[in-house]
Amino acid sequence: MKRYRHIFIFVGLLLTLPATASTDVTTTIKYDTRYCYAYAMIGEDSVINSRLGLLPEQLMELARLDSANTTTAPRYSPVLLRTILDAFLWQESPQHYAQSILHNCNSYQAKKQNA
């Protein structure tokens, strides 16, 4: 199970890299299938990590936008931070959390297409 957790984190990070390369991540995120899936996997992994006893502060590096060796204050992706921190309060199964993220992301995408 531990091996799969690292795979989920790795895949999620790879899928979110293009969204975090810009200076303002909120304007560059396109809610397509890749991003929805990445957020769902990171959220599912965060629920599992919360059940294993990890602290939310230990996972905040997943949402960091800049490199860890800069001298400026760290910047975080608000979408990823919310996904990770909400997962620590989730009471149902990790799979249900991933499904809720996918549902919300797809409904947001549908609203944008209809507007």
Tens-digit pLDDT profile for residues 5-22: 655 565 555 455 444 444
Using CA atoms, how far residue 14 sits from 21, 35, 72, 107, 113, in Å, is 12, 10, 24, 24, 26
The total of other beta-carbon atoms located within 10 Å of residue 64's CB is 16
Instruction: Please give the pLDDT value at position 92.
Output: 92
Q: Is the pLDDT of residue 113 over 70?
A: yes
Least confident window among 15-29, 44-58, 101-115: 15-29
pLDDT digits (tens, 9 = 90+) for 26-52: 444 555 677 788 888 988 999 999 999
- Total number of domains constituting the chain: 1
> What is the biggest distance separating any 2 CA atoms in the chain, rounded to whole angstroms?
43
Q: Return d(Cα 58, Cα 55) in angstroms, integer.
A: 6
In this prediction, residue 62 carries a pLDDT of: 78
> Phi/psi zone of residue 53: left (φ > 0), alpha (ψ -120 to 50 degrees), beta?
left
Amino acid in the structure at residue 3: R
Confidence (pLDDT) at 91: 92
The per-residue pLDDT for 25 is 41
pLDDT > 70 fraction of the chain, expressed in percent and rounded: 70
* Residue 9, both tokens: 């984190």
- For residue 87, what are the domain limits? 2-22+30-114
Mean pLDDT, rounded, for 75-97: 88
Q: Give me the mean pLDDT over the 93-113 stretch.
A: 84
